[in-house]
Amino acid sequence: MFRQLAAVALVLCLCGGIPVGAVAQSNGGTQSVEPWQREFDEICGPTHDAMTFTPDELASLIARCDALLPKLQKLDDTRRKVFTNRLQMCRGLYAYVLESKKSEKK
Amino acid sequence: MSRKTIVAVALLLLSCTPLIAQTKKKRPLPYEYGRVVINNSSERSNMAPVVFEHWIHRRRFTCRVCHVDVGFGMRAGSTGIKAIDNERGFYCGSCHNGKLMVDGKSLFQACAPTMTAENHKRCDRCHSLGKNVQTEVDFFQFSAPLPKERFGNGIDWEKAEEMGLIKPATELEGFSGRKNSMATQKDFALNPKVEGMPDIIFSHQKHTVWNGCELCHPDIFVGVKRGNSHYSMVDISEGKSCGACHVSVAFPLTDCQRCHAKPVQP
């Protein structure tokens, strides 16, 4: 029985049926990671590595920020405020690093 | 000079006294340094404004956790926090949710939809301006074993962390993404315009360890090319550039040698 359950859980995980890295209860009571949030985490998670990205990678991250913004603006008041501000901060950083890399080349 | 003129001048000077008193800032006491009064909608809701003590919070978390991951703005009032935000588990409610355990106790919940006598007592813990509310942590007891500094809170926070006396968390579960260790930029020197003034040694490493990158760039430091941005002590004392932190929370501008650290070359 245990083996069967473990196998089912593994299959579900691999299929994306169980949200990976579920958000803790403290995060606004959200139990699962919504697609916008997964995208947000992917974009804004690696700001620590901003200096190591190539100009193309930075440009791609900026484009993903711009694509995500309209989705965040449809959230409830609280989450819209929190996540649009955070997105602006990480977009700002990527644009800043991109600009500084371009100016280094000149 | 006629008697009338003297009286007129005296009256004029007397009328200016409150203005002079207002412009002279009182140096905050060590436990007051870093205090922020938040009054977005408190008084409109018949509540006392919130008194936020940075020292209580910075012993537990790095600046980045609250100002990037949780999303608090860098200026009082800029975040526009509402009680409902806290109730939903954001801003203050990120930690103050009645669940997060600190020193074996759950942190009290920030804001509540219903107003009971018990809730009212809890409200006073933050909505405390003008009230005699005792914090659970006594500043002097907390700061006694920590390395001393002359200004600000009177605590050398950086040294306190180095000595392992405080361990500010770099992540908050549910808010912070997983981060790799950061490759930091090298320290660099800035040459002051005033002759004889020691150079400023700026350490990226010291700053990024608590702030990350996006807390400073580009909102506070917008220039991309080193040497192109010009900073003045007047601007800094008004809260621009370094003054965003070093006027109100991090060690203050009166502690000149902390930044102007390079000896003057003979």
A23 vs A33: CA distance, rounded Å: 6
For residue A1, the distance in angstroms to the closest alpha carbon of chain B comes to 33
pLDDT at position A26 is 41
The tokens for A100 are 């500084």
User: At residue B200, does pLDDT exceed 80?
Assistant: yes
Per-residue pLDDT, averaged over B117-134, amounts to: 89
Measured between beta carbons, which residues in chain B are less than 8 angstroms from residue A103? 224-225
pLDDT given at position B182? 67
Low-confidence ranges of chain A (pLDDT < 50): 8-30
Residue B203 has pLDDT above 60, yes or no: yes
Most confident of the following: A95-99, B24-28, B129-133, B220-224: A95-99
pLDDT at residue A24 in the model: 32
pLDDT > 70 fraction of chain B, expressed in percent and rounded: 88
Q: What is the pLDDT of residues B17-47, one digit of tens each?
A: 554 555 567 889 999 999 999 998 899 989 9
Q: Which of B106, B108, B73 is nearest to B91 (CA)?
A: B73
Q: Is B6 exposed, middle or buried (0-12, 13-18, 19+ CB in 10 A)?
A: exposed
pLDDT band, very low/low/confident/very high, at B229 (cuts 50, 70, 90): confident
The more confidently predicted of residues B191 and A54 is A54
Q: Which of chain A's residues have a Cβ under 8 Å away from the Cβ of B91?
A: 82
CA gap A3, B8 in Å, rounded: 96
Report d(CA B239, CA B248) in Å as an integer: 8
Minimum distance, in Å, between the CA of residue B101 and any CA atom of chain A: 12
| pLDDT given at position A23 | 31
Of B99, B222, B224, the CB nearest to A103: B224
Q: How high is the pLDDT of residue A9?
A: 45
Is residue B8 pLDDT above 80, yes or no?
Answer: no
CB contact under 8 A, A96 and B224: yes
Residues A76, B89: contact at Cβ < 8 Å? no
Cis link prior to B198 (omega < 30° from 0)?
no
Note whether B197 and B212 are within 8 A (CB): no
Query: Which of B217, B222, B226 would you mutate first to test chain A, the one with the most A CBs within 10 A?
Result: B217
Please give the average per-residue pLDDT across B157-161, as a whole number: 95
Q: Would the CB atoms of B174 and A27 count as touching at under 8 Å?
A: yes
Q: What is the pLDDT of residues B240-261, one digit of tens each?
A: 999 999 999 999 999 998 999 8
Q: What is the pLDDT of residue B197?
A: 87
What CA–CA distance (Å, rounded) separates A41 from A87?
A: 10
Whether A93 and B177 lie within 8 Å, measured CB to CB? no
Query: Is the Cβ pair A52, B183 closer than 8 Å?
Result: yes
Mean pLDDT of B102-122: 85
Please give the DSSP secondary-structure letter assigned to residue B108.
P
Q: Kindly state the average pLDDT of the residues B165-189.
A: 82
Average pLDDT over residues B115-128: 86
The chain B residue lying nearest A52, using CA atoms, is: B183
Provide the residue count of chain B.
266
Q: Find the angle CA(B217)-CA(B210)-CA(B189) to the nearest 5 degrees.
A: 60
**Which domains are seen in chain B, by residue range?**
26-179 (3.90.10.10), 180-266 (3.90.10.10)
In this prediction, residue B225 carries a pLDDT of 78
Indicate whether B205 pLDDT > 90: no
In Å, how far is B222's CA from the nearest CA of chain A? 8
Query: Which of the pair, B79 or B3, is modelled with greater confidence?
Result: B79
Contacts of A77 in chain B (CB under 8 A): 82, 84-85
Find the CB nearest B90 among A52, A78, A92. A78
What is the nearest CA distance from B213 to chain A, expressed in angstroms? 7
Residue B227: which pLDDT band, with cuts at 50, 70 and 90? confident
Mutation to test the A interface, candidates B88, B91, B95, B204, most A Cβ within 10 Å: B88
CB contact under 8 A, A79 and B90: yes
Q: How confident is the model at residue B177 (pLDDT cuts 50, 70, 90)?
A: confident
Give B-chain residues touching A92 at CB under 8 angstroms.
214, 217-219
- Give the pLDDT confidence score for residue B23 in this predicted structure: 56
B204 vs B178, more confident: B204
Compare B50 and B195 and report the one with higher pLDDT: B50
